[in-house]
């Protein structure tokens, strides 16, 4: 039943981190919401985001990286847009995604262009949805 309810949200994917003894990935969290309606309202301005439903709350993520300098860069980017984001670290075992993330981290590390940063952030989220998400 829950899968059916979530399937109607175009371009919005339920986060399915492959937790375990994999590599550490820092997710940048927009917020934690009590209802799906609140989540959708607060994340409506984002082209891509992913979320995790746990403990009857919706955790919305709008970026991810393995590089601590890139964590700072992503946070500064969102701060420039008026958002405050928090960090949360997960251990990811999905090798294909980790390989893609490493390449995007290299590109993100090499740029200061705000449009390029936005594009890389969106591409990473899109790849996560494509390679890892269950919906």
Number of domains in the chain: 1
Residue 95 lies in a domain: yes
Residue 2 lies in a domain: no
Q: Which domain does 58 fall in, by range?
A: 14-131
Residue predicted with more confidence, 87 or 134 = 87
* Structural element, H or E, at residue 126: helix 114-131
Extended beta strands in 2-96, E state: 12-14, 23-33, 49-54, 57-65, 86-92
d(CA 127, CA 124): 5
Residue 61 lies in a domain: yes
d(CA 39, CA 108): 27
Residue 6 lies in a domain: no
The answer to whether residues 63 and 74 touch, using CB atoms and an 8 Å cutoff, is: yes
The dihedral formed by the CA atoms of 21, 23, 26 and 31, expressed in degrees to the nearest 10: -40
When pLDDT is cut at 50, 70 and 90, the band that residue 133 belongs to is low
Residue 1 lies in a domain: no
Residue 64 pLDDT > 50: yes
pLDDT at 19: 45
pLDDT at 6: 41
d(CA 22, CA 79): 30
Query: Phi/psi at 9 (nearest 5 deg)?
Result: -95, 100
Residue 5 lies in a domain: no
Query: CATH number of the domain that 69 lies in?
Result: 3.30.70.1070
Residue 4 lies in a domain: no
In this predicted model, what pLDDT tens digit does every residue of 65-123 receive, in sequence order?
999 999 999 999 999 999 999 999 999 989 999 999 999 999 999 999 999 999 999 99
When pLDDT is cut at 50, 70 and 90, the band that residue 22 belongs to is confident
The arrangement of strands across the sheet holding 23-33 comes to 12-14, 49-54, 57-65, 23-33, 86-92
Residue 7 lies in a domain: no
% of the chain with per-residue pLDDT over 70: 82
The answer to whether residues 89 and 23 touch, using CB atoms and an 8 Å cutoff, is: no
């Amino acid at each position: 039943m829950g899968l059916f309810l979530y399937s109607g949200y175009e371009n919005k994917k339920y986060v399915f981190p492959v937790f375990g003894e994999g590599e550490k990935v820092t997710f940048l969290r927009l917020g934690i919401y009590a209802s799906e309606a609140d989540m959708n309202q607060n994340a409506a301005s984002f082209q891509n985001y992913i979320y995790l439903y746990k403990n009857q709350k919706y955790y919305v993520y709008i970026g991810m990286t393995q590089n601590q300098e890139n964590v700072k860069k992503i946070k500064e980017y969102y701060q420039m847009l008026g958002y405050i984001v928090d960090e949360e670290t997960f251990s990811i075992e999905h090798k294909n995604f980790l390989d893609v993330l490493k390449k995007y981290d290299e590109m993100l590390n090499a740029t200061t262009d705000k449009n390029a940063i936005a594009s890389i952030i969106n591409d990473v989220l899109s790849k996560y949805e494509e390679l890892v998400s269950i919906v």
